[in-house]
Structures are given as C-alpha cells and as structure tokens.
Amino acid sequence: MTDDHTSGPLPDEITLGRIETEVALLMRFGEATRRATGTAEHRVLDRAAYVILRHLDTAGPQNVSALAATLNLDGSTVTRQVSAMQRDGLIARTPDPADGRGTVISPTAAGLQRMAAVQAARTRLYGEILAAWDEGDRDTLAELLRRLNEALNSRNRSRSTR
C-alpha cells in the first residue's frame, strides 16, 4: 500500500516484507538443516512427538483436548499422534482424576529420554551455527523468537475461538 505522497511502499511495509521473507527462509532452512544433520539423535523423534513431549514435560499431564488447544491442533490429529506415541512407549494414558471417563497423557521415562536427546542435539547444533554471534545477540534472538511465537500463538488462539 502506498499513500498519496510517496511513489513506493511505506517503510513499515518494507520491514514487514523483509520479516515475511526471513520467516519463510527460517522455516525452509530449519527443515533442510534438520534433514541434513547426520546424527541419529535428531531423528529419534518426529517433530510432532518432540513438541508434544516438550509441552508435557513443561506443563505436566493433560487430556487430549487440552493438549490440542495448547498446540493449536485438531483433537483428532492429536489423538492419532498420541496413539502412535503410546504404541512407541513414549507416553502413557492414565485415568483423568478430574473426570473418570477421560484419560490424561503423560510422558514415559523413555519418551523423556528421547526428547532430552533431541533437545541436547539441537542445542549443540545451534551452538555451532551461532558460535560467531556474541552472547548479547544470541540472547536478543532468543527473546525476539519467544515474542514472535507468543504473538503467533495468541493470534491462532483468538481465531480458533471465533
């Protein structure tokens, strides 16, 4: 969009366009890096299982509905993922103390061990990638990514309640 006094994009539009490009590249290069990384540690869990286990490790046991809402996913998608994870021994289902008809999902020791291996491998990888960055720049990047994820999550939550 332009205004009547300029012949090109407004500065904010240019910046937002740069952000869009960089986020698209981040997703592409992140996936390419994940696939190209030779260590088995990166592949002991698929992305969905890793995200679910990370969340359960932080938030504690949850039912599928709460997990789906938190991860902004359809309940049937989470149910399929959780079923596969249960078959692989990564999570356990136990009766929901708040609702005896339901179950809660919690990580098993094996699930947490695999999650920790992937997390450690990813942390080492980012340490290598960002080795030339000073600590302040790494800290700024971490904070800005946290804020971006928070804003994305907030937007997704507000749209799903409409």
Total count of domains within the chain: 3
pLDDT in tens, 22-32: 999 998 988 78
Both 22 and 46 in one domain: the answer is no
Asked if residue 21 is part of any domain, the answer here is yes
Both 19 and 46 in one domain: the answer is no
Both 99 and 155 in one domain: the answer is no
pLDDT in tens, 44-79: 788 889 999 999 999 999 999 899 988 888 889 999
Measured in residues, the chain has a length of 162
Q: Token digits for 18?
A: 């740069």
Asked if residue 15 is part of any domain, the answer here is yes
The residue range of the domain holding 9 is 1-36
The mean pLDDT of the chain is: 87
Asked if residue 124 is part of any domain, the answer here is no
Both 101 and 57 in one domain: the answer is yes
pLDDT in tens, 131-144: 999 999 999 999 99
Both 32 and 67 in one domain: the answer is no
pTM of the model: 0.79
Asked if residue 10 is part of any domain, the answer here is yes
